[in-house]
Amino acid sequence: MGLIQRLVEEAGIPTISMGNAADRMAHIKPPRAMLVRFARGSMFGEPGNVKRQRRIILDALEALQTMTEPGTIQELPYRWKQPDPE
Amino acid sequence: MPIDLDAFKPAYQKWVEESLSDWRAGNRKEIVKKYPLITPDDIPWTAYNGQPSNQTFALVTSGGLYLKDSQPPFDTESIHGDTSFREIPKTVSRQDIGIAHAHYDHSLAEQDINIVFPIQRFVELENEGIIGRLTDTHYSFSYVNDAVSLVSETVPELISRIKAAGVDVLFLVPV
C-alpha cells in the first residue's frame, strides 16, 4: 500500500493512509499517515465502534489540512476496547 | 524520484527462487523476513489545498475485497500475490462483498467491513457535507509481493481511473 500511496501522491493527488507498524512505515515512507495501535486487519479498532471510525476519519481530514512536512506520521491515542479520550 | 525497479527486479527474482519451497510449505514468516523491501530515499509530496467539504474522495483498501457475484476473487496461492485490483461501488451492500486474502484474519472484517473499508462512514460524511463528494467507485487490492507489476502496470491504471473520476484526495487503508 505504501508504494501505491507514493505513486498516487507523485502523480499529483494528495493521499493519506492508515498504518499500524512504525518500522514498516519508516521503510516505505508514506507522504502522510495516521498511526494506530491496532492489529492487522482492523485499522479502526474493534468491529462496530462506529463513533471511533468516524473520529479517526475526521482526525485524518484534519491532518490533511495541517500536515505540511512530507512523511509526517501522526500517532492516534485510541486503544483496543478502551474508551476513547474526550 | 520514481521507485527504482531496476534495482528491485533482480533482488525480487532471487527472492522468489529462494523462497518458493518455503512458500509451498507454508513457512511464510521466514520468507517475509527475507523479502527485498523497497526503501526509497525521498518522500513524494503534493500540497493539499482547499477544504474537504469541496472535494472528492476515494478509498483504497488492501483487504482483498471483491464482488462475489460479478468479480473473480484474488489469487491467494501465488508467491507473487495478486497485483490486480477490484472496483467496489459506493452503493455496495455488505452481503455482496467477499474477501480473498490469505494473510490476515478476516473474522473482524466479517463482523464490520468498515474496519478495512470504511465506506459507510464516508457515505455519512458526504451526506452531512463534511466531505464534498464520495466518488462512485472505490478500489480494493489484496496481498502483493510482485512490486514490479504493481508499480509498472496496475498503479498507473488506478491513477488514470481516479484522475478521470476527478478524485481530489485518496484515503488508503491497508490491512
Q: Which amino acid is at B171?
A: F
Q: Any residues with CB less than 8 A from the CB of B82 and at least 6 apart, and which?
A: B74, B75, B76, B100, B142, B143, B144
Per-residue pLDDT reduced to its tens digit, B74-125: 999 999 999 999 999 999 999 999 999 999 999 999 999 999 999 999 999 9
User: Which of residues 43 through 82 in chain B touch A, CB cutoff 8 A?
Assistant: 43-48, 51-52, 60, 62-63
Is residue A83 within 8 angstroms of chain B, CB to CB?
A: no
C-alpha B124/C-alpha B66 separation (Å) is 22
Asked whether the beta carbons of residue A13 and residue B167 sit closer than 8 angstroms, the reply is: yes
Per-residue pLDDT reduced to its tens digit, B137-171: 999 999 999 999 999 999 999 999 999 999 999 99
User: What is the mean predicted confidence (pLDDT) over A57-64?
Assistant: 98
C-alpha B50/C-alpha B169 separation (Å) is 11
> A86 pLDDT band (50/70/90 cuts)?
confident
Is residue A85 within 8 angstroms of chain B, CB to CB?
A: no
ipTM of this complex: 0.97
Is residue A6 within 8 angstroms of chain B, CB to CB?
A: yes
Q: Any residues with CB less than 8 A from the CB of B17 and at least 6 apart, and which?
A: none
User: What is the mean predicted confidence (pLDDT) over A3-16?
Assistant: 97
Residue A60 scores a pLDDT above 70: yes
Comparing alpha-carbon positions, the chain B residue that sits nearest to A47 is B112
Residue B2 scores a pLDDT above 80: no
User: Which of residues 36 through 55 in chain A touch B, CB cutoff 8 A?
Assistant: 40-48, 50, 53-54
What is the average pLDDT value for chain B, to the nearest integer? 95
What H or E segment, with its residue span, contains residue A28? helix A22-28
Domain ranges of chain A: 2-75
User: What is the mean predicted confidence (pLDDT) over A61-82?
Assistant: 96
Q: If you count DSSP H runs as helices and E runs as strands, how many of each does chain B have, helices first?
A: 6, 7
Q: If you count DSSP H runs as helices and E runs as strands, how many of each does chain A have, helices first?
A: 3, 3
Residue B1 scores a pLDDT above 60: no
Question: A33: closest CA among A15, A50, A53?
Answer: A15
Per-residue pLDDT reduced to its tens digit, B33-77: 899 988 888 999 999 999 999 999 999 999 999 999 999 999 999
Residue A3 scores a pLDDT above 90: yes
Which cell is B21 given? 519451497
Torsion angle of the four alpha carbons B91, A52, B112, A46, in this order, in degrees rounded to the nearest 10: 170
User: Which of residues 151 through 170 in chain B touch A, CB cutoff 8 A?
Assistant: 151, 155-156, 158-159, 162-163, 167-170
**Helix, strand, or coil (residue A35):** strand
Per-residue pLDDT reduced to its tens digit, B6-31: 999 999 999 999 999 999 998 888 89
Question: B168: closest CA among B44, B90, B56?
Answer: B56
**Helix, strand, or coil (residue B100):** coil
DSSP 8-state assignment for residue A61: H
C-alpha B113/C-alpha A68 separation (Å) is 31
User: What is the mean predicted confidence (pLDDT) over A33-42?
Assistant: 95
Farthest CA pair distance, chain B: 53
